[in-house]
Structure 1
Amino acid sequence: MTLTALLAIYFVHLAAAMSPGPAVLLAARTALNQGMRRGVFLAIGIGLGVCVWALAALLGLATLFKVAPELLTALKFFGAAYLAYLAYKLWKHAPEPLDNTVADATATRTDIGLIWLGTLTQLSNPKPAIFFGTIFLTFLPANIPLWGYAAVLGIVFVNDCGWNVIVARIFSFERTRRGYLNLKSIIDRVFGGLLAALSAKLVLTN
């Protein structure tokens, strides 16, 4: 496992981590709603979730999907249903004042609960499954030493967790938060609409 291979994995996965998706949307809204610290816990869960997909790819995820394509189909529909549920919650509670939004997907969770939510959000999203089962594998050498597994998992965790921490930081600034409070109903419904669109895309994409 060469440094060149690790750098290639780092940059191709960083591009994937930075692409808009449900994890990024949730990190942004959590930071807006509850601050930087809570957004960091969510980001940790997002990083752990993506490590599960990376490990599955290292252990033969692409082969599994070829042998049993119905598993990928089931995953897509489960992910779509979960995103639709989050979208419904955001849309329903958008008009409520921030302090009264007790049913928000993150507001009543403990810090550990936020980590779990981040992990579940990644596990229910087929995008990383497809990425790690296809593009990611083309950058891996044929024979990976044991330390290489640890290095690859470390890279994907740092990329996904780190990017979402940055997102949380940006959206936790007081100026950003004031703008959110002034436009809460609109912004929450935009976030909810984006999650719903992602849900529909999962169902409609072959």
Structure 2
Amino acid sequence: MDPVLAFVSIAAAIAVGAASPGPSFVLVARTSIAVSRRAGLATALGMGIGGVFFASLALLGLHALLSQVGWLYAVLKLAGGAYLLYLAFRIWRGAAEALVVADEGKTAPAGLLRPLLFGLLTQLSNPKTALVYGSIFAALMPAEPPLWLFVFLPPAVFLIEAGWYAIVAAAFSAGRPRAAYLRSKRWVDRVAAAAIGGLGIRLMSDALPPP
């Protein structure tokens, strides 16, 4: 495959995957509504960094490793599922708590580290993403890729992942979505927790051998 066509095809496939609903979408949307736009953008930044991590592993051949070593993939799925369940528990537990929304201009920069780490860990919690990245790269990379592909693909993945979730953060931190959330915080949080927890349970169940 032509290297330029390969680059465009990989970028398009990653973009489609990023836009698919999942725990990352739920976390960015909820953070943007419940905390602030800046916190949502920090979470989006964490998603972008996680995408770069997976892209780098894909370039190093992680897909082949996980396909060959089944127990390693199972361990990663169990760990990822456990993290999602922990995150769901935290959201569910805080669903009934009153929320004081800070003004955008008063959000402390130091307070952005936590949502960034939540975004990064949520992105990294699903080892299936590593296989998706690996499959895309394995299928679309040229047999003898030029050096510039290795240089430009990780930044392109970052821009796609972080850019998409930045759009999500901007959309859900607007006045109307935030006002609607504050009116129905308990139920919105519990739906988000149930969705993330369900994904965690599914991930862990996939790691168990069939009966």
TM-score where L is the length of structure 1 = 0.90
Residues 40-91 of structure 1 show CA distances to partners (whole Å, capped at 9, x for unaligned) of: 1111111111111111111010221133221110010001000001111111
- Mapped contact 1:13–1:136 kept (Cα < 8 A): no
Structure 1 position 82 matched with structure 2 position 91: no
- Mapped contact 1:47–1:157 kept (Cα < 8 A): yes
Aligned letter for 1:147? W
2:85 & 2:126 partners in 1: Cα distance? 12
C-alpha displacement of 1:142? 1.5
C-alpha displacement of 1:139? 1.1
TM-score where L is the length of structure 2 = 0.88
Q: Which residue of 1 is the match for residue 105 of structure 2? A: none
1:112 & 1:46 partners in 2: Cα distance? 13
Structure 1 position 98 matched with structure 2 position 99: yes
C-alpha displacement of 1:198? 0.5
1:84 & 1:22 partners in 2: Cα distance? 11
Structure 1 position 168 matched with structure 2 position 169: yes
Q: Which residue of 1 is the match for residue 157 of structure 2? A: 156
Q: Which residue of 1 is the match for residue 54 of structure 2? A: 53
Residues 93-151 of structure 1 show CA distances to partners (whole Å, capped at 9, x for unaligned) of: 11111139xxxxxxxx7323332222221111123112012233201112222221121
Q: Give unmatched runs, 5+ long, in structure 1.
A: 101-108
Aligned letter for 2:6? A
Structure 1 position 29 matched with structure 2 position 20: no
Instruction: Tell me the matched-pair count.
Output: 199
- Mapped contact 1:49–1:123 kept (Cα < 8 A): yes
Aligned letter for 1:154? P
Q: Which residue of 1 is the match for residue 116 of structure 2? A: 115
RMSD: 1.8
Partner SS for 2:100 = helix
2:184 & 2:74 partners in 1: Cα distance? 37
Q: Give unmatched runs, 5+ long, in structure 2.
A: 102-109
